[in-house]
Amino acid sequence: MGKGRLHHYLTLILTLGMGTPGMTAPTGQAASVHTSPKPFAHPTTEKVPQLNNFGGQEISLGKPAPLTIVMYYSLTCPHCHEFQKEGLPKIQKEFIDKGLVQFIFRDFPTDSFAIKAAKIAWSHGARQYLPFAQKLLETQDQWVPKDPGKIQEADKALQDIALKELGISEADYNKCLANEDVEKAILRTSFEAQKNHQISAAPAFLVNGKVYEGNLTPEEIDKLLRDMGIHG
């Protein structure tokens, strides 16, 4: 899906709550990079909550650090799962835990199921967001639809994960999926990422005004730090 189609898709989805199969960055390739023309700006509105900025605090690992990395990801993206499983633990050990990097997470759902999953991740607020999101990534093979003709089965599998693995009550599950304000806030983050940084796929990483599409490696982060005169 091209950037123009992504812009149209997000505009439609903000208005209608619709979704179509999305796109992910290619696997097995080094992250590509382009420069973002303007800094990220949170939209201002009283009606739509800014989920990724609860009380002025981002959803993040680590405290403010010399290097801040913002990851835009989709809960149905297999490459995002790969990064969470293989790349993030190394990055946390080598850079985040040493106070060199603060790692921020922002939603960039690439299809309707990713939107549902993001709403579930936010169902208990910022405090439970990361554990819920990580569990949803880990269990992708159980609930992400692989066949357009088996959407109902995928819906049931996602509900089972939410109730049995995350401990969400059925009432809270139904309530979070029906919450249009949460959905609009999630999608607004995606819309701003596309508009301000030309992000068109997941995963993508915003680092010092540059966007890296594809999984960011520990080696690339080490080089970024060395270029800043910081040695881990």
- Residue 53 pLDDT > 90: no
Q: What is the mean pLDDT of the chain?
A: 81
The span from the CA of 158 to the CA of 123, in Å, is 14
Residue 31 pLDDT grade (very low, low, confident, very high; cuts 50, 70, 90): low
Domain ranges within the chain, ordered by starting residue: 3-139+168-227
The span from the CA of 17 to the CA of 142, in Å, is 24
Comparing 47-51, 105-109, 216-220, the range with the smallest average pLDDT is 47-51
Q: Which residue has the higher pLDDT, 149 or 80?
A: 80
Per-residue pLDDT at 103: 95
Cis status, amide bond into 203, omega within 30 of 0: yes
The per-residue pLDDT for range 88-132, each reduced to its tens digit, is 999 999 999 999 999 999 999 999 999 999 999 999 989 899 999
H or E element: which one contains 213? strand 210-213
Q: Which CATH class is domain 3-139+168-227?
A: alpha beta
pTM: 0.79
Residue 152 pLDDT grade (very low, low, confident, very high; cuts 50, 70, 90): very high
